[in-house]
């Protein structure tokens, strides 16, 4: 896909991954439509189903056709079942799963007006292998993976594609660790993906037109960890 002149909705635009992806898309000539709790243009609380519908309606009113949708927002709650509150559980499902479903559903009319549209959902290796003490997060990411793969099949014979980006550990403030703590681990030898590298890979994928139902982006350390825990 030629990116110049395309329009992209970026959900989670204020996060570490979202900010870098925003820059990468703009550098390719893409008009980025940012959606986040702190966005000046399209503010949205992704736990509020009514707000999601309203912001999607506003996007369609303002832009009509959308070429790319990035569901990059997420919350990483790592807890045991004993420590997981109902609020933790609901927030994980609301942001990591239901918001992705609703954004895709409500923006579908605009995506279908594009000659070739792509929806990118941001998954996790923890949606492929269960981990102890990470119940809310793993559950939501397993469900997201199932939804994404199902949607990919649903749109398989159309010009509208759904791709799941299954990521390993990324050097952002996401999850229970601070960015500083992750940077310290990185200095001690732990391999993290950088947001810049992930964003460049996404750009390469779009330009190549090799849109598969799932792409795994792992560091060697993370891939080994998943294999050992499988």
Task: Take residue 85 and report the two structure tokens written for it.
Answer: 């509150």
Contact assessment for residue 43 and residue 34, using Cβ atoms and an 8 Å cutoff? no
Q: Where are the domains of the chain?
A: 7-229
Contact assessment for residue 139 and residue 90, using Cβ atoms and an 8 Å cutoff? no
State the greatest distance between any 2 C-alpha atoms of the chain, in Å, as a whole number: 50
Identify the bridge partners of residue 155 per DSSP, sorted by sequence position: none
pLDDT score of 170: 74
pLDDT score of 189: 58
Q: Which residues of the chain have pLDDT under 70?
A: 171-191, 220-230
Contact assessment for residue 206 and residue 156, using Cβ atoms and an 8 Å cutoff? no
pLDDT score of 40: 86
Rounded to 5 degrees, what angle do the CA atoms 142, 146, 152 make? 140
Report helix, strand or coil for 189: coil
pLDDT score of 204: 94
Q: Identify the CATH class of 7-229.
A: alpha beta
Report helix, strand or coil for 103: helix
pLDDT score of 172: 63
Contacts of 92 (CB under 8 A, 6+ apart): 75, 77, 136, 137, 139, 140
pLDDT tens-digit profile of 30-69?
999 999 998 888 999 999 999 999 999 999 999 989 999 9
């Amino acid at each position: 896909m030629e990116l110049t002149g395309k329009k992209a909705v970026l959900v989670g635009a204020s996060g570490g991954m979202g900010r870098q992806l925003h820059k990468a898309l703009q550098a390719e000539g893409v008009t980025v439509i940012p959606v986040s709790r702190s966005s000046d243009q399209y503010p949205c609380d992704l736990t509020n189903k009514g707000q999601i519908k309203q912001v999607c309606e506003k996007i369609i009113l303002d832009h009509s056709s959308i070429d790319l949708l990035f569901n990059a927002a997420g919350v990483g709650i790592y807890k045991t079942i004993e420590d997981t509150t109902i609020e933790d559980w609901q927030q994980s499902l609301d942001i990591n799963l239901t918001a992705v479903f609703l954004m895709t559903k409500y923006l579908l009319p605009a995506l279908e007006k594009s000659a070739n549209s792509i929806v990118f959902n941001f998954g996790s290796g923890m949606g492929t292998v269960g981990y102890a003490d990470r119940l809310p997060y793993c559950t939501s990411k397993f469900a997201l993976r199932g939804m994404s793969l199902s949607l990919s099949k649903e749109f398989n014979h159309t010009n509208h594609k759904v791709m799941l980006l299954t990521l390993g550990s990324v050097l952002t403030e996401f999850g229970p660790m601070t960015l500083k703590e992750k940077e310290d681990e990185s200095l001690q030898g732990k391999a993290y993906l950088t947001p810049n590298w992930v964003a460049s890979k996404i750009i390469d994928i779009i330009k190549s037109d090799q849109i598969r139902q799932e792409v795994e982006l792992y560091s060697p350390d993370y891939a080994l960890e998943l294999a050992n825990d499988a």
